Amino acid sequence: MRVSQQMRVRWPLSANGRLAVVASNHVFLQVNTPAGATRGLDNWAFAGVDRTLARRARVEAGYLNLYTRGSNGRASSHIMSIALVVSR
């Protein structure tokens, strides 16, 4: 079983709000130890920009840091992330 919490902030940079700075932090807590899992916290931190393409679609690009723990200890991954976000 895993519990997670995400906090996300978006600051518009343009008057029409189509360009914005975004930041988020997503914390995962593994509360049991099924096969292949380790108890403890994982953290995903993101900072970047987003551009609105249409009413329900935008592109986000930025830096994602994944701090995870596994059977061989803790690891930090540095990722350039580009995502298409579509909402209903």
Tokens describing residue 55: 């009413």
Beta bridge partners of 29: 3, 41
* Tens of each residue's pLDDT in the chain, 88 residues: 778 899 999 999 999 989 999 999 999 888 777 666 667 788 999 999 999 999 999 999 999 999 987 667 778 899 999 999 999 8
Report, in angstroms and rounded to the nearest whole number, the Rg of the chain calculated over CA atoms. Answer: 16
The full DSSP string for 36-56 is T--SEEEEEEEEEEEEEEETT
Instruction: Please give the tally of structural domains in the chain.
Output: 1
Minimal CA–CA distance to 57: which of 82, 84, 81? 84
Domain span at 8: 2-86
Query: pTM for the whole thing?
Result: 0.81
